[in-house]
Structure 1
Amino acid sequence: MAKRLTLYIMIGLVLGLLLGTAINYGVESIRTFLSLLASWGWIDPPEAAPALLKDIAGGFSIITTIFLRLIKMIIAPLVFSTLVVGIAHMGDTASLGRIGARTMGWFVTASLISLSLGLLLFHGIEFVIDAVAPGTGFGFSLPAPDATVGLDKAAFDLSKWITHVVPSSIVDAMATNEIIQIVVFSVFAGVALLAIGERGAPIVKGAEALAAMMLQITDYVMRIAPLAVFAAITATITVNGLGIIVTLGLFVGSFYIGLAVLWLLLFGAAFAFIGRRAFSLIRYIREPILLAFSTASSEAAYPRTLEALDRFGVPPRIASFVLPLGYSFNLDGSMMYMTFATLFIARVYGIDLSIGTQIIMLLVLMVTSKGIAGVPRASLVVIAAVMGQFGIPEAGLLLILPVDQFLDMGRSGTNVVGNAVATAVVAKWEGALDEPEPPEIEPPHAPAHRATT
């Protein structure tokens, strides 16, 4: 099933590229036809081409929106139930503290590496451009420095973020899919169940049943994933076309080269800790990666990533603890992008930042990027919030906004890789990495976790 689903998703992606390109290039023909119908009085006169493209894309986007809403429907109860069960099966609070410390240590290190890689990547491109065509810069027609993108930057005020981490109501946190708040409550609930011992056994059993039910629902929802991928890619290419990638080819291409380097670093680190099994991990998580890439949503891949890590041999008590934390603290692709994009914008406006200032900016981005999972265009919001602190015009975001969807696809897939590697490494550190199951085989019914050990 998993192998066929991956194939169907890839087919949906290719068909979406073809249809989106055809619509984008053929819109004038469509508009001419609609104008003819309008001249006969059958319909109202058609809109201008850009508006027409958005209308067409909007029809396809309905399918993608429904799919992503179904995924969001699953996330809150799945994170809560699996995290509570995972902590309850830790055995004692000492194990929980040890795993938590190792997890956060990995996340902080990975964050610094991702942000630093973005810094080095930018300077590498800058060096090449200056060597080939000195003094030309990046050659963009710049928006006015006082132009705005209209993003809500206030959401990433540090003091507000710290208080926002703690939920005032778990019901409200679940209703709004606030992952980090759900994680905080689930940790309290799991530790409390550890403390009360046998008296909490019925709740643990109920949470296990809830997790199994949510994973079965995931199996149902994933059957429309290829259609959702087809619709998402079609809508994106219909509006933007492939030409926008050529226009900003240097920026897009450089970023994807950086992602490739980051993948090599992540799997290299995994190899250092778990040996040759690190190379087989990609086979287990290929479907979640492809799903996150094609829908530009890390969230969409969460349930399948959890199942893939289970088949890879990561015990549920570890995967259910590390993976939700990763969605709030370990978005490697997003963090590399934020450093690279911020410095890129500073350069095109001719703003010279000292190395010390760049390092400070890197640390500020590291703090403000935490907890961005589930926030639309979260990376752009963080960048907009930080740029103002260093005198970089927010208008620079207008340069990269047309290709942000394509960039979001890459960073979403990379976020899945980073969290999967982190979870596997923590399991190895705990001496709990089990023998893997075949990656192509899924349980015939509810894809419940293996025995919690």
Structure 2
Amino acid sequence: MKLLNNLTFRVLVAITLGVLIGHFFPETAAKLKPLGDLFINLIKMVIAPIIFLTIVLGISNMGDLKKVGRVGGKALLYFEVVTTIALIIGLVVANWLRPGEGVQTTAVAGGAAETVSKYAEQGKGMDWLEFFLHIVPSNAVKAFAEGEILQVLVFSLLFGVGLTRMGERGYPLIQTFERLSKVFFNILGVVMVLAPLGAFGGMAFTIGKYGLTTLVPLAKLMGTVYLTMFLFIFVVLNLILRYYKISLWAVLKYIKEEILIVLGTSSSESVLPLIMDKLESLGCSRSVVGLVVPAGYSFNLDGTTIYLSMATIFLAQVFHVDLTLGQELTIIGILMVTSKGAAGVTGSGFIVLASTLTAIRVIPVEGLALLLGVDRFMSEARSITNLIGNTAATLFVANNEREFDRRRYNRAIGKLEQDELANYEY
């Protein structure tokens, strides 16, 4: 049956089995984390070389270095505007629905206190100047070895510029990189066979360790966050894509496999190379994809931004802290900076949140303990929103730069519909 060979179907079945195993056999499920970690590690193995090759080939094919700067500038401007909109939406909805009202605080004790203390100390010690200096690698090989996406991005940009300046003499190297790029995408194709296993392990671990019952006390916060991200995707991102006559729904159907993998693994990084390949097939030029997607994974975290703003207001409501308009504007200003560093910090969400609470000094940092139980469940929504946000950003910049092939887009969407009809016949 064609349906059994469909990756989307297999990942969906794996996620369902993961939920069932996690619910009915929690002790066994909690030990399945290595399956998800194995799949993510396999993906991470090829992320750095794929980003390097894609960016270098994109710049060399672009030829005009002024165009490289223009595309990068447009992307960064887009990221700042859209993430600011995401921040404001998060604050408005949290103030409107007030998910923190009625939540009972409990004494922060045991492991929770220890964890919160660790995040708070890391948050206090965050040096954002040091973070921006960290973007430039002191050792390019180390950047590749440790999978530092931003450092690999910077090195790739410089390498691409250097190769472009060689002119025709660099052509043999470009041909070699083209072949290497195909090799790594072939490796990726082999790794994707294990996607259902990774999704199964990740989902089983989450349900097995934390349990569905942990959602009950904070169900209103969960619902509010999911609703806000839904509105952001289907209103804000939909309007952005409609401006260039692109169907958001068609795009979501086209990347549904990647969305399901992110749902299972709780990591948007697990599909980074895949989404780059998909966006090229969808009509975006390689040069735009190579510049926008890797940068977006660090500077265009729409889901993370929404979550951080809502979590801050939620904790203020829980502790009955009435924030003034000035304080909320201060929160927006702080998060505009701190959320950009989320991808470059281990334990990013909690550390950034801790640093924000420490900076405004009116909400107890100990309140982070309330979020420990549900953070893992909300990480799926954050990761999926980040993925869709970066997809929309790439499509926007590609259209704005006239680097979008409408015929390829129509072919990709048309083929998707034909494949779906073929699956239903069996």
TM over 0.5: yes
Map 1:122-271 → 2, pairs under 5 A = 122-126=94-98, 137-144=101-108, 147=113, 149=116, 150-151=118-119, 152-153=122-123, 156-271=126-241
Deviations 1:261-308 (A, max 9, x none): 111134323333321444321122111122112211010011111121
After TM superposition, give the deviation of residue 123 of structure 1 in Å: 0.5
Quote the sequence identity (%): 34
Which amino acid is 1:274 matched to? Answer: Y
1:22 Cα deviation (Å)?
0.7
Tell me the equivalent position of 1:60: 32
- In 2, Cα distance between the equivalents of 1:397 and 1:182? 33
Shift of 1:23: 1.4
Give the letter aligned to residue 83 of structure 1.
I
Change (3 A) 1:375 1:16: farther
Q: 2:226 & 2:31 partners in 1: Cα distance?
A: 29
Structure 1, 99-108 or 199-208: larger mean CA deviation: 199-208
What aligned pairs does 1:76-87 form with structure 2 within 5 A after superposition? 76-87=48-59
Aligned counterpart in structure 2 of residue 389 of structure 1, from 345, 354, 359? 359
Q: Distance in 1 between matches of 2:277 and 2:260?
A: 15
In structure 1, how many angstroms separate the alpha carbons of the residues matched to 2:200 and 2:345?
A: 23
Gaps of 5+ in 1: 25-52, 130-135, 443-453
Equivalent residues, number: 404
Task: State the shift of 1:188 in Å.
Answer: 1.0
Once residues 204 and 140 of structure 1 are traced to their aligned partners in structure 2, the CA distance between those partners, rounded to angstroms, is 61
Show the counterpart of 1:35.
none
- In the alignment, residue 258 of structure 2 is paired with which amino acid? P
Task: Give the TM-score, by structure 1 length.
Answer: 0.84
Structural mapping, 1:96-115, within 5 Å = 96-115=68-87
Instruction: Please name the residue that 1:4 is paired with.
Output: 6
Deviates further, 271-280 or 351-360: 271-280
SS of 1:140's equivalent in the other structure is: coil
Structure 2 counterpart of 1:33:
none
Aligned equivalent of 1:297, options 267, 284, 301: 267
* Structure 1 residue 374, shift from structure 2 partner: 6.3
Does the CA contact (< 8 Å) of 2:11 and 2:196 recur in 1? Answer: yes
The answer on whether the counterparts of 1:365 and 1:386 sit within 8 Å (CA) in structure 2 is: yes
* 1:14 pairs with 2:10: no
In structure 1, the residue matched to 2:66 is 94
Match of 2:47 among 71, 75, 78: 75
The separation in 1 between residues aligned to 2:29 and 2:347, in whole angstroms, is 19
Alignment RMSD (CA, Å): 2.2
Q: Deviations over 1:328-369 (max 9, x none)?
A: 110110111011111111221222221111112112111122
Q: Mapping of 1:422-441 within 5 angstroms?
A: 422-434=393-405, 435=407, 436=409, 437-438=411-412
Whole-Å Cα distance in 2 between the matches of residues 295 and 398 of structure 1?
Answer: 23
Q: How far is 1:65 from its partner?
A: 1.0
Helix, strand or coil at the partner of 1:143: coil
Measured in 2, the distance between the counterparts of 1:201 and 1:393 equals 59
Q: Which residue of structure 1 aligns with residue 386 of structure 2?
A: 415
Alignment partner, residue 243 of structure 2? 273
Alignment partner of 1:372: what SS? Answer: helix
Give, in whole Å, the separation in 2 of the partners of 1:440 and 1:405.
Answer: 36
Give yes or no for contact 2:18–2:203 (8 Å, CA) kept in 1.
yes
Paired with 1:346 and 1:241, the residues of 2 have a C-alpha distance of 26
Shift of 1:310: 1.6
Match of 1:406 among 377, 384, 397: 377
Between the aligned partners of 2:238 and 2:124, the Cα distance in structure 1 is 38
- Give ranges in structure 2 of 5+ residues lacking alignment: 417-426
Distance 1:429 1:114, change over 3 A: same
1:385 & 1:206 partners in 2: Cα distance?
Answer: 45
Residue 348, structure 1, aligned to residue 348, structure 2: no
C-alpha distance in structure 1 between counterparts of 2:294 and 2:244, whole Å: 21
Change (3 A) 1:9 1:374: farther
Cα distance in 1, alignment partners of residues 179 and 123 from structure 2: 40
Contact 2:241 2:392 in 1 (8 A): no
- 2:335 corresponds in structure 1 to 365
- 1:379 alignment partner in structure 2: 349
Output the amino acid matched with 1:101. Answer: G
Give me the whole-angstrom Cα distance separating, in 2, the residues matched to 1:440 and 1:209: 29
Q: Bigger shift: 173-182 or 285-294? A: 285-294
**Alignment correspondent of 1:310:** 280
Asked which structure has the greater CA Rg, the reply is 1
Output the amino acid matched with 1:280: A
Inter-partner Cα distance in structure 1 for 2:265 and 2:345: 15
Alpha-carbon deviations, 1:157-177, whole Å to 9, x = none?
212112111110111111111
Work out the CA distance in 2 between the residues paired with 1:144 and 1:60.
Answer: 29
The residue aligned with 1:23 is: 25
Contact kept in structure 2, 1:156 and 1:368, CA below 8 Å: no
Distance 2:217 2:317 in 1: 18
Asked if the contact 2:124/2:358 (under 8 Å) is kept, the reply is no
Q: What does residue 42 of structure 1 align with?
A: none
State the shift of 1:154 in Å.
5.6
Please tell me whether the aligned partners of residues 71 and 397 of structure 2 are also in contact (alpha carbons under 8 angstroms).
yes
